[in-house]
Amino acid sequence: MPIVAESPITKRQQWRCGIGAYWLALGAAMLLGASLSAKAGTTTVKITDLLQFEPKHVVIHVGDTVEWRNESVLVHTVTADPDKAARAEDVALPRGAKAFDSGNLDHDAHFRQRFSQPGLYRYFCIPHEATGMVGEIEVR
């Protein structure tokens, strides 16, 4: 009775298989990396009962979005409009950036703003500007 040997996998075939897996893994990693870098981020800023934006200063990248969430019981605004500020120093907009204003945000409401111009944005809350309710977004 003849012994049927299983076809042996040569060293060369093993090597090829290893190289193929390597390139497949590398390609998958590159695709993942590309999709992660292409996806713009969202940063959350909380509006607190202490009449503060938390964090007060955030750093984001061009194209990112900031979402403010009103976690306090009071009405607040997120306003970066020089025409609505009592004090000029409470607002800053990079050259070419448009003013924005969330309008009144009730408890649990949120407001999103995407930033496409790099630079420093300083904004305030209309009802609480006098108490120093000011925040900053640094867009790099």
Q: Are 121 and 99 in contact (CB under 8 A)?
A: no
User: Rounded to the nearest whole angstrom, what is the least distance from the CB of residue 99 to Cu ion in the complex?
Assistant: 18
Spatial neighbors of 93 by CB under 8 A, at least 6 apart, are 80, 82, 99, 119, 121
Give Cα 16 distance to the centre of its chain: 42
- Name residues contacting Cu ion, limited to 62-81 (CB under 5 A): 76
User: Peptide bond before 2: cis, by omega within 30 degrees of 0?
Assistant: no
* Residue selected from 110, 119, 128, 138 as contacting Cu ion according to rule CB under 5 A: 128
**Is 133 a binder of Cu ion (CB under 5 A)?**
yes
User: Rounded to the nearest whole angstrom, what is the least distance from the CB of residue 139 to Cu ion in the complex?
Assistant: 23
Judged by CB, which is closer to Cu ion: 76, or 102?
A: 76
Judged by CB, which is closer to Cu ion: 58, or 126?
A: 126
